[in-house]
Amino acid sequence: MTRLIQQGHRRRRTSGFVALASVGALALAACGSSGSSSGSGGGSTGGSIHMTVLGSDTGAYAEIGQAMYNGAVAGAALVNAAGGIMGQKLVLDKIDTHGDPADAVPSLQQELAKNHPVGIIGPTTLEIFGVHPIIDRNQIPDMFNGGSTAFDNNTDKWIWRINPSDSQLALALALYARAKGYTKAAILFTTEASQQELEPFLKNDFTKLGGSLTTVVNVTPGTEFLQLGDREAARHAPAGHPRAARPTHRGHLLPRAEGAQRHEAPLYRH
């Protein structure tokens, strides 16, 4: 029986947990800044303090955005149950990026002008480079949910990556496959920049550990293209050997788990 590893579920759980922890960390920062205002991060309006949850509420990454928000809601509930922040209620503003920096930029700008949040949870790697200048300019602490290696040696005091580096995730995936005894693998990625960044690390780590790659398939995001890519990766994956994939949305590949089983090629997702 082919084993299907659904690392996408683990990633969503992690998104929720780190969002919950981020609320606590940013709440502490708000305690120190609520008496004075810096940039747009002044923070309080009418007895409340606002914090932005900047994520993809709609689109391909909606599940990750929802997990971020759910974790933040749980954290905010604990803060408010304990009396809020210096007596003021913590209010979460759910801002939808649609998984696109072109939408994230105006959405964040409107949020800053309207609610003056003291901190930001999110976005993901997809949008962080679009909103990074805005965060720096307004001097608001941000905890973004992504593993971009561009932040491996980050010195920006306003940007805090709350996920492991993609280089570490790639190594973990390669180690897991080799620990299971697999020596050959096919890799399937979409052409999005955030996913292409992970590909060279995974290829390098898997081969360094003694594995070999039968093929590397890159597909344009979209169900029909991912179906083509999934079939191509399965065709090159020998029986009993894994395919490493990072689809745009779990719905694109998981319904085809039966196809993976027919090829007897377990699917390891990130």
Question: Is 134 or 32 the better-scoring residue by pLDDT?
Answer: 134
Question: Is 40 or 120 the better-scoring residue by pLDDT?
Answer: 120
User: Which residue is it, tokens 């990625």?
Assistant: 189
Residues 207 and 148 in one domain: no
Report the run of H or E that residue 76 belongs to, with start and end. helix 62-81
Domain boundary among 127, 142, 161: 161
Identify whether the C-beta of residue 57 lies closer than 8 Å to the C-beta of residue 94.
yes
> How far does Cα 212 stand from its chain's mean position?
28
Residues 138 and 255 in one domain: no
The pair phi, psi for residue 118, each rounded to 5°, is -90, -15
Residues 14 and 119 in one domain: yes
Residues 53 and 182 in one domain: no
Report residue 56 as tokens.
């993809």
Residues 155 and 51 in one domain: yes
Residue 114 included in any domain: yes
Residue 228 included in any domain: yes
Average pLDDT rounded to a whole number, residues 85-107: 94
Residue 41 included in any domain: yes
pLDDT in tens, 220-269: 765 544 555 455 555 555 544 455 544 444 444 444 444 444 445 565 55
Q: Which range is least confidently modeled, 19-23, 69-73, 96-100? A: 19-23
- pLDDT of 9 reads 39
- CA-nearest of 62, 31, 57 to 44 is 31
Residues 210 and 147 in one domain: no
What confidence category does residue 270 fall into, taking pLDDT thresholds of 50, 70 and 90? low
In this structure, the strands spanning 243-246 and 184-190 are: parallel
Which residues on neighbouring strands pair with residue 50, listed in sequence order?
Answer: 91
Report helix angle 166-179 to 199-208, nearest 10: 40
Residues 152 and 178 in one domain: no
Report residue 164 as tokens.
């492991």
Residue 4 included in any domain: no
- pLDDT of 265 reads 57
Residues 209 and 147 in one domain: no
pLDDT over 90 (residue 123): yes
- pLDDT of 219 reads 76
**pTM above 0.85?**
no
Q: CATH number, domain at 144?
A: 3.40.50.2300
- DSSP codes, 93-132: EEEE-TT-HHHHHHHHHHHHHHH--S-EEEEEHHHHHHHH
Question: Is 161 or 255 the better-scoring residue by pLDDT?
Answer: 161
Residues 131 and 256 in one domain: no
Question: Is 195 or 170 the better-scoring residue by pLDDT?
Answer: 170
Which residues on neighbouring strands pair with residue 232, listed in sequence order?
Answer: none
Question: Is 269 or 104 the better-scoring residue by pLDDT?
Answer: 104
Domain interval for residue 208: 166-269
Residue 179 included in any domain: yes
With pLDDT > 70 as the criterion, what percentage of the chain qualifies? 64
Residue 1 included in any domain: no
Residues 197 and 128 in one domain: no
> How many residues would you count in the chain?
270
**Cα separation values, 30 from 48, 59, 87, 140, 220, Å:** 11, 31, 12, 10, 42
User: Which residue is it, tokens 């800053």?
Assistant: 112
Domain boundary among 129, 161, 193: 161
Report residue 224 as tokens.
């029909």
Average pLDDT rounded to a whole number, residues 65-90: 93
**Cα separation values, 74 from 19, 23, 41, 67, 91, Å:** 9, 9, 23, 11, 12
Q: Which range is least confidently modeled, 35-49, 159-173, 206-220? A: 35-49
Residue 95 included in any domain: yes
**Cα separation values, 263 from 172, 177, 215, 229, Å:** 24, 17, 15, 14
In total, how many domains does the chain have? 2
Residues 146 and 17 in one domain: yes
Residues 41 and 138 in one domain: yes
With pLDDT > 90 as the criterion, what percentage of the chain qualifies? 42
Residue 37 included in any domain: yes
- CA-nearest of 19, 248, 270 to 168 is 270
* Highest mean pLDDT: which range of 56-60, 61-65, 208-212, 241-245: 208-212
Domain boundary among 103, 134, 161: 161
- pLDDT of 185 reads 86
